[in-house]
Amino acid sequence: MCAINVDIAIIGGGPAGLAAAIGAKEEGIENVIILERDAHLGGILNQCIHNGFGLHTFKEELTGPEYACRYIDKVNEMGITVKLNTMVININENKEIIAVNEAGIMEFKAKSIILAMGCRERSRGSINIPGSRAVGVFTAGTAQKFVNLDGYLPGKEVVILGSGDIGLIMARRMSFEGAKVKAVVELMPHSSGLNRNIVQCLDDFDIPLKLSHTITHIKGKERVEGVTIVKVDENRVPIIETEEFIPCDTVLLSVGLLPENELSKQANVKISSITGGPNVNQDFQTSIEGIFACGNVLHVHDLVDFVSEESVLAGKHAAKYIKNGNPQDQSIHIEVKNGIRYAVPSYIQPQVITEDLRIKFRVDRVYKNRNVCVYINGEQQMKRRVRILAPGEMETIVLKKKWLEKFSQITSITLTTEEVKVL
């Protein structure tokens, strides 16, 4: 089997892969290929028929398919090669790719690979809810596909476990279709979804959000008959005397997303234990030279606009890597403390940074009236007061190049939150 030589191979044709391909092509790389396992480009956006996409990127509200179409049209206009119904089954550190489609097995040899496989939902098995294997338990994304693409209504009386954005959106969608959403049950004392989705999808439809609650049992032999929910304490231990039974015929699970990194692991890319995605530097390059990552395979984003913004940059950096190689400079890990769960990038190479750098981070719980601070070599460079920080909202700080230039050698960079001192 003779390998097909390409400059940049992009694995995944969703919003991240499309934007990365455009970024690479805009940077002058002609031999770019997108490998997509589905029959259509666009990824998860194809089933997201609600609006709210594109406000940052296009300054207008679009549905998911409309947003995807903007990028698909541009990919086609630029003449970027796309292979649909093509499943990548193996990659390695040498940037060799094995894929399969109806034509058979294909091998690609790339100068650079961009990982853009997206993420998947956690299933019932990953959270170990007791009960029979009754019909009527779905992930929220599966239910969304049934309703929006296939025209099937999964059930009429619904309880949703988890208040992630897709769960909130499906609460509204099921209500639109005539189902009764009896409750959204959330283990944490705060929602993991965007505040605007809580208002538009729950409050506007009088759907109760039960914080610090979880489902302890699903009743039903052939079809779901109901769920037992219970309040949990601050250690997430069920308080048995608070048990409540809610009759329903459907349970939707919105209990988190996991970056799809099986292929990344094959290539020995180092994976973050916090995000489940690769550790990357300021160029979105992973621990393996020439392999880049962007979008939800890197970390789960709250807005697709941010996925596109990040992925265009990843494509441009992959192109620059092909042209200029990989400078071997000192890498400094970005340490996070005091409620900041993770930051992207997770490390930087200060000597090669030529402009201010945007760092995105997410907190582990809701914080009010905090200072977000940046320290370099123990010296505070920035202090910004923030009224509220929430896990559902990705935050951004700008690491200024002039801060880095103040030091002849950088030994530590720390991103932290601190209490606001009231005088």
Mean pLDDT for all residues in the chain = 93
Q: 19: domain range?
A: 4-120+258-326
Identify residue 76 by its one-letter amino acid code. Answer: N
Domain shared by 103 and 26, yes or no: yes
Q: Tokens 């940077």 belong to which residue?
A: 27
Residue 421 and residue 381: Cα distance in Å, rounded?
18
Structurally, the chain folds into a number of domains equal to: 3
* Each residue's pLDDT tens digit, 298-317: 999 988 999 999 999 999 99
Tell me what pLDDT residue 130 has.
Answer: 81
Domain shared by 183 and 238, yes or no: yes
* Each residue's pLDDT tens digit, 188-237: 998 888 888 999 999 999 999 999 999 999 999 999 999 999 999 999 99
Residue of 330 and 161 predicted with greater confidence: 161
Domain shared by 320 and 213, yes or no: no
What crossing angle do the helices spanning 15-26 and 64-77 adopt, rounded to 10°?
Answer: 30
Tell me what pLDDT residue 131 has.
Answer: 80
Confidence of residue 327 (pLDDT cuts 50, 70, 90): low
Domain-terminating residue out of 280, 306, 326: 326
Q: What is the CA radius of gyration of the chain?
A: 23
Domain shared by 245 and 137, yes or no: yes
Q: Tokens 């030529």 belong to which residue?
A: 354
Strand partners, 315: none
Backbone phi, psi, residue 54, to 5°? 90, 0
Domain shared by 14 and 99, yes or no: yes
Percent of the chain having pLDDT more than 90? Answer: 85
- Single pTM value for the model: 0.92
Domain shared by 111 and 179, yes or no: no
Domain shared by 132 and 239, yes or no: yes
Domain shared by 43 and 14, yes or no: yes
Task: Specify the pairing of strand 357-363 against strand 340-344.
Answer: antiparallel
Report the CATH number that the domain containing residue 359 is assigned in CATH. 2.60.40
